[in-house]
Amino acid sequence: MSDSITMQVFRYRPETAAEPTWDTFEVPAGKEWMVLDALNHIKDHMDGSLSYRWACRMGVCGSCGMTVNGEPVLTCATYLTDLPAAEPVRVEPLKGFPVIRDLIGDIQDFVHKLKRVSAWIVREEAKPLAGGEYLQTPHELSQFKQYSMCINCLLCYSACPIYRLEPEFIGPAVIALAQRYNLDSRDQGSEHRMDVLSQDDGIWSCTFVGECAEVCPKHVDPAGAIQRYKLAASIDWLRSVLLPRGRR
């Protein structure tokens, strides 16, 4: 294990320069350091003006997603020793998002889209609290559990070439979260979400590249969620054509 690592870090300081630059740092790297530890060392001891997001450092908050050596990763979960030893480590903000500053991208688009698909329990009528919990067997829970594990890190958006080329695309994580609610036995909002998701910028923009599922750190498999939804949406459309009155 070499004593120091060369880090090339993307810098964007809109107040001083219209174009971004790359800064190089020689960082003494401990054996068990993550990329995030190196960034913290730079900020604390070398250049306090480096701006980036981080919080939990245990892979559950989703703050620290960045593009490292071209790959979208969580910097708190990427060992420096897992990267090629002889080359500098290139760290830049997650691709696909407008850069506000240094390693920070704007993710408001994601929040807007979560609202659009009604990513919450939708019910005609709520059961009174005195009636206790909705019964949900472990089997029913397993139907949507995987999609509920999304930490909103947005690595999937960064990996998706469709989102990069057409940012109106609703995107992998939001569709997976919509599915999480569709498949939850307590929810009754599938039809409502279908209206939003079967629009052009919904599931039909997806051409199943599959990279979103590859980079997801929590194995949510948004690609699978979208393809399943396409099947369901197609069947639903067919039914509405063949049995126009039977649908609603």
- Any idea how long the chain is? 248
Q: Which is nearer to other proteins, 45 or 239 (CB)?
A: 45
Of 13, 53, 38, which Cα lies nearest the Cα of 89? 38
Regarding 81 and contact with other proteins (CB under 8 A), the answer is: no
Closer residue to other proteins (CB): 231 or 242: 231
* Residue 35 lies near other proteins (rule: CB under 8 A): no
User: Six-digit token pair at 29?
Assistant: 């790297």
Alpha carbon distance 185, 197 (integer Å): 20
Strand order in the sheet with 21-28: 21-28, 4-11, 89-93, 65-68, 71-74
Q: How far is the CB of 237 from other proteins (least distance, A)?
A: 15
204-243 residues in contact with other proteins (CB under 8 A) are 207-211, 214, 223-224, 227-228, 230-231
Q: Please report whether residue 39 would count as binding other proteins according to CB under 8 A.
A: no
Q: From the CB of 244, what's the least distance to other proteins, in Å?
A: 25
Q: How far is the CB of 185 from other proteins (least distance, A)?
A: 9
Part of the chain binding other proteins (CB under 8 A), chosen from 21-29, 83-91, 95-103, 240-248: 95-103
Is 82 a binding residue for other proteins by CB under 8 A? The answer is no
Instruction: Give residues 118-177 in contact with other proteins (rule: CB under 8 A).
Output: 118-121, 126-127, 129, 132-141, 144-145, 148-152, 161, 164-165, 177
Q: Report the C-alpha gap between 221 and 212 in whole angstroms.
A: 7
Nearer to other proteins, 53 or 199 (CB): 53
Instruction: Using alpha carbons, list the distances in angstroms from residue 216 to 22, 59, 101.
Output: 27, 11, 25
**120-133 b/e (C-beta count within 10 Å ≥ 16 → b):** eebeeeeeeeeeee
Strands 99-101, 104-105: pairing is antiparallel
24 binds other proteins (CB under 8 A): no
151 contacts: CB under 8 Å, gap ≥ 6:
59, 60, 61, 62, 217, 218
Three-class SS of 207-222 = CCCCHHHHHCCCCCCH
For other proteins, which is the closer residue by CB, 233 or 244?
A: 233
Tell which one of 101, 190, 192, 196 touches other proteins (CB under 8 A).
101
Q: Are 9 and 91 in contact (CB under 8 A)?
A: yes
Using the contact rule CB under 8 A, the part of the chain among 43-51, 83-91, 190-198, 237-245 near other proteins is: 43-51
User: Which residues ranging from 177 to 206 are in contact with other proteins (CB under 8 A)?
Assistant: 177, 181, 184, 186-187
Give min distance, CB of 41 to other proteins, in A: 9
Indicate whether 3 belongs to the interface with other proteins (CB under 8 A): no
Nearer to other proteins (CB atom), residue 41 or residue 199: 41
